[in-house]
Amino acid sequence: MTRVTMAERPRRLRQSARVRQMVAETRLSPTDLIYPLFVRPGQGEARPIHSMPGQHQWSVDRLLGEVGRAIGAGVGAVMLFGIPATKDAQGSAIHDPHGVVPSAVRHLKDAYPDLVVMVDLCLCDYTDHGHCGILTPDGRVDNDATVDRLATAATLFAEAGADVVAPSDMMDGRVAAIRSALDGAGHMDTLVLSYAVKYASGFYAPFREAAENRPQFGDRRGYQMDVANAREALREARLDLAEGADLLMVKPALSSLDILARLAPIVDRPLAAYQVSGEYSQIMAAAERGWLDERTAALETLLAIRRAGASVILTYFAVKVAQWLSE
């Protein structure tokens, strides 16, 4: 039988694992991953988060052990969310230098000086109404008053030793205010990772159980972006770059691959993506039922997020992925 000679036989590049590995255009490495963690007051606490199987709210002492495990697996960075002892309308607990987050930062940097410690900077974990800012008398989020409080909180977190502050509030002008507050307090080397493109998303639902910050009324559409908009994402990114953000983040990740792909060629700073709670939980829930394979699905989504243009990924799979990659 004479065979057709074909110039194009792409399958030649898929013939063995070795060849496939050699020509892989995108790779995952534990050093690209940031592990988000929830810190609560108390001692000896590791409270499972029901809607995020495998994830916990940690007291600071237990957090140290969990982070040690992450470092052991090769993860080099964490993002901390705080669940304060008390909440009020102003989110005052964010200004407590002895609060759960500053204390977690100090302990982590003491125990693991090389760990990159990031702190999520937003009022919603600290307000009793659950919104990401303080409210005007008519119940709307007051942009400028919120920005002031975030800028002060950023200096406190930097003081405690945070390497990176990550504003996730979506107020206008907060990156510039945070940068100038940090510089004014002598924290010139503290990085700002801005949640630049953050959509109002149903995929944050499990996180709201984890951080105990579900809005008590209304929703976050007055400050988070409308999923319908892509050009607006370019605008948000441009503003945060101009205001001095060191890294930009897009979230959720999997439903924003087009945004990552648009931003990657035009943003001259590292681009991060957040594989959010709902993206994690849907894989975990389906895997628990045997409907898909956790490892295959998790690695596939993370690789796709890298392929779209993210250089860094925040993911609740961080420790597992780091372990899988070293097998």
CB neighbour list of residue 53: distance below 8 Å, 6 or more residues apart = 281, 284, 285, 288
* For ligand PBG, the closer CB: 132 or 321: 132
Closest contact distance (angstroms) between CB of 5 and ligand PBG is 52
* For ligand PBG, the closer CB: 61 or 229: 229
In the bound complex, which residue of the shown chain has the CB atom lying closest to ligand PBG? Answer: 207
Closest contact distance (angstroms) between CB of 228 and ligand PBG is 18
* For ligand PBG, the closer CB: 14 or 221: 221
Closest contact distance (angstroms) between CB of 257 and ligand PBG is 17
Please report the DSSP string for 127-172 in residue order. Answer: BSS--SSPBPTTS-B-HHHHHHHHHHHHHHHHHHT-SEEEE-S--T
Helix axes 100-111, 60-73, angle to 10 degrees: 40
Active site residue 109: no
- Using alpha carbons, list the distances in angstroms from residue 325 to 191, 258, 319: 28, 26, 10
Active site residue 198: yes
Closest contact distance (angstroms) between CB of 276 and ligand PBG is 3
Q: Which residues bind ligand PBG (CB under 6 A)?
A: 120, 122, 124, 132, 168-169, 204, 207, 220, 276-277
* For ligand PBG, the closer CB: 80 or 308: 80
Q: Locate the DSSP E strands across 12-138.
A: 33-40, 46-48, 56-59, 77-82, 116-121
> Rg for the chain (alpha carbons), in Å?
21
* For ligand PBG, the closer CB: 48 or 186: 48
- The count of other CB atoms within 10 Å of the CB of residue 93 is 21
CB neighbour list of residue 291: distance below 8 Å, 6 or more residues apart = none
Give CA–CA dist 176/184, Å, rounded.
12
Q: Environment class of residue 87 by beta-carbon count within 10 Å: exposed (0-12), middle (13-18) or buried (19+)?
A: buried
- Using alpha carbons, list the distances in angstroms from residue 56 to 105, 107, 312: 18, 18, 23
Closest contact distance (angstroms) between CB of 203 and ligand PBG is 6
* For ligand PBG, the closer CB: 28 or 124: 124
Closest contact distance (angstroms) between CB of 221 and ligand PBG is 11
Give CA–CA dist 63/43, Å, rounded.
10
Helices and strands in the chain, H and E counts: 11, 10
